Amino acid sequence: DIDTQTDAFLDRPSAPIFVPMKTGVDRDTQIYEGDLFDFDVEVDPILEVLVGKTLEQSMLEVMEEEELAAMKEHQDHFEQIRNVELAETQRVEEAEKRRFEEKERRVAQEQARVQREAQIREKVAAHKFSKGYLQELHSAVFHNLRETGFFYNPLEREVTTDFLPWLVAEVQARVQRVAVGRALADSLIEAAVARQQALVDEAASLHGAVQGQLAEIARKEAEEKAAATAAAAAAAAEAAARAAENEPVADGGEAAGEE
């Protein structure tokens, strides 16, 4: 095996700076300190500008911070007011809700009480009517029995042959009469309720008719007032027109008199 070791690759050296050949004659000038530049004098405007800009920037930053603080304070105050108003609104809404619920509950209680009272009144009226009717019926039955001679001195044969069959028949008749009385009471109660409902409907219709007549009278009065107003306005316009027509004539007469 044969190999060859090459040298390391060297970078190309940088080209030397071109220096042109000197021509002409050299001259020099003596400059003393303070002839061209005075630091103490020249630095004042620069320092004034730097200090002014620094102070202006500082003032702007301070004003911006104060403005941000004021905005933050105003925002916090607004948030507090809004939270207070929101809490007050919620409190009012809750109070209104409680009042509405209490009102609905009271209305429901009152309706239930009125309904119970109506039912009780109907039951009492029915009980009174049936009681009075049955009392009169009972009195009439016993009076008729006494008049017909069914009550006499009891004897065993008469009791077994006449009184017991009669008693059974009368009990059946009484039960039937009671049933008829109850049916009649129910029919009377239904008729009374229907009559009351008819009276209520008639009152409602009369109320609606009266309201319609009142509305019609009010409309007619409004139309009469509007017609009167229009007539008055037309009369005023006509009078103004006549006055305007007479006014030039009077001016012409005055001019002729002056001539």
Q: What are the pLDDT digits (tens) for 85-103? A: 999 999 999 999 999 999 9
Contact status, residue 151 vs residue 145, Cβ threshold 8 Å: yes
Q: 145, 177, 144, 139: which is closest to 163 by C-alpha?
A: 145
Q: What is the spatial distance between Cα 91 and Cα 237, in angstroms, rounded to a whole number? A: 61
* 133 neighbors 185 (Cβ within 8 angstroms): yes
Rounded CA gap, 45 and 51, in Å?
Answer: 10
How many Cα atoms are found within 13 Å in the side-chain-facing hemisphere of 202? 6
At 173 the pLDDT is 87
- pLDDT, residue 259, reads 44
Please name the residue that has the structure tokens 């809750």. 94
Alpha helices in 149-163 (DSSP H): 156-158
Instruction: Give the Cα separation of 52 and 22 in Å (integer).
Output: 49
- Are the C-beta atoms of residues 201 and 137 closer than 8 Å to each other? no
Residues of the chain with pLDDT under 50: 249-250, 252-259
Whose tokens are 């039912």? That residue is 119
pTM of the model: 0.26
pLDDT of residue 204: 79
Q: Count the alpha carbons within 13 Å of 213 in the hemisphere toward its beta carbon.
A: 6
Which residues contact residue 125 at a Cβ distance below 8 angstroms, ignoring those fewer than 6 apart?
189
CB contact set of 174 (below 8 Å; sequence gap of 6+): 141
Per-residue pLDDT tens digits for 3-49: 766 666 667 778 888 888 878 787 888 877 767 777 777 888 888 89
- How much is the CA Rg of the chain, to the nearest whole Å? 62
Spatial distance between the Cα atoms of 183 and 133, rounded to a whole number of angstroms: 12
Backbone angles phi, psi at 23, to 5 degrees: -135, 160
Q: Measure CA of the first residue to CA of the last residue in the chain; give whole Å.
A: 154
DSSP states of 97-137 = HHHHHHHHHHHHHHHHHHHHHHHHHHHHHHHHHHHHHHHHH
